[in-house]
Amino acid sequence: MAEQGAPEQTPSTAAGGTPQGDLGRRIEQRRTELGLTLEELALRAAMAPSYLAHLERHSTAAPEAGTLLRLAGALGTSPTELGGGHADLPAGIGHAARAPRLSELDEQECRRLLSTHGVGRIAVSTEAAPLIVPVNYSIVDDAVVLRTQPGTVSLQALGREVAFEVDRVDDALSQGWSVVVRGPAEAVTDPDAVRRLSERAYTTPWAGGERDAWVRIGITALTGRRIDAQ
């Protein structure tokens, strides 16, 4: 994103140092999202754990179409998603579920979904026009924090009330959620506070470059919604 995030571990390398392909990363990410171990996913997909580990860890792994279909079913997604076929398309291109259910989220659930880090969108009402940009963020001391540089939209938010939104869309199941934060944006300049954010924030800017200006968004209002497929 243009304003902050990458894990400490090199994304193209598996934990054991083996080059990891795009398919392996997507399998591992989806498995982690579902809270499944290799053994649990292997049981669901009716395949050997050693073969599943091979798929996750080797860039040359090329499963047959039937294997990929079975694995996608076990992960609650689609072969296209696992293969990266939707990488350049916006989320939500699938059809709506037959019996969708829209519900409001309570504050506790909103905070759980918002927690830690990820990619969100900051909405700023500037003198010229309202602007919305995606940013990488972390949650530190019950506030949204992000790192940016001079000239960015995020710095135009300073001293203003802003909105910040995060969401997750599952195209395969036609369901997802969104959480919206409202609160004041302020610059973090105190050296001790900056050091604390640098130590506790999960990510560094995906866009790279010198991005040493910190913005903090206090949480004064928090709302969320979820769409489930019945």
pLDDT of residue 15: 47
Q: Which of 115, 113, 134, 114 is nearest to 123 (CA)?
A: 134
Same domain? For 124 and 193 the reply is yes
Tell me how many degrees the CA angle 95-98-100 measures, rounded to the nearest 5.
90
62 and 112, same domain (yes or no):
no
Q: How many domains, in total, are found in the chain?
A: 2
Q: For the purposes of burial, counting CB atoms within 10 Å of the CB of 215, is it exposed (0-12), middle (13-18) or buried (19 or more)? A: buried
pLDDT surpassing 70 at residue 20: no
Joined together, the tokens standing for residue 34 give 């579902």
Question: How does pLDDT run across 84-128, given as a tens digit for each residue?
Answer: 776 666 677 777 878 889 999 999 999 999 987 889 999 998 888
Between 149 and 87, residue with greater pLDDT: 149
Question: What's the CA gap between 54 and 40, in Å, rounded?
Answer: 15
Mean pLDDT, residues 138-154 taken together: 90
47 and 153 assigned to the same domain: no
Residue 5 binned pLDDT confidence (cut-offs 50, 70, 90): very low
Place of tokens 């939707």: 86
The pLDDT value given to residue 51: 92
Residue 180: CA atoms inside 13 Å, Cβ hemisphere, count?
9
CATH number of the domain at 211, please.
2.30.110.10
Write the CATH number for 82. Answer: 1.10.260.40
Same domain, residue pair 123 and 219: yes
Last-in-domain residue among 89, 112, 131: 89
User: What is the CB-side half-sphere exposure of residue 217 using CA atoms within 13 A?
Assistant: 31
Does residue 215 or residue 88 have the better pLDDT? 215
- Note the pLDDT of residue 171: 76
Strands 175-188 and 213-218: what pairing? antiparallel
Query: Which of 89, 116, 132 is where one domain is finished?
Result: 89
Clarify whether residues 142 and 163 are in a common domain: yes
Residue 178 counted as domain residue: yes
Q: Which domain holds residue 204?
A: 100-229
Distances (CA, A) of 225 to 69, 79, 118, 177, 228: 31, 28, 18, 6, 10
Claim to verify: residue 114 and residue 23 sit in the same structural domain: no
The last residue of one of the domains, among 36, 59, 89, is: 89
Least confident of 1-15, 120-134, 174-188: 1-15
Q: Is residue 115 domain-shared with residue 222, that is, in the same domain? A: yes
Rounded-to-integer distance, Cα 36 and Cα 30, Å: 9
Domain presence at residue 95: no
- Together in a domain, 155 and 55: no
Mean pLDDT, all residues of the chain: 84
167 and 198 share one domain: yes
Q: Is residue 94 part of a domain?
A: no
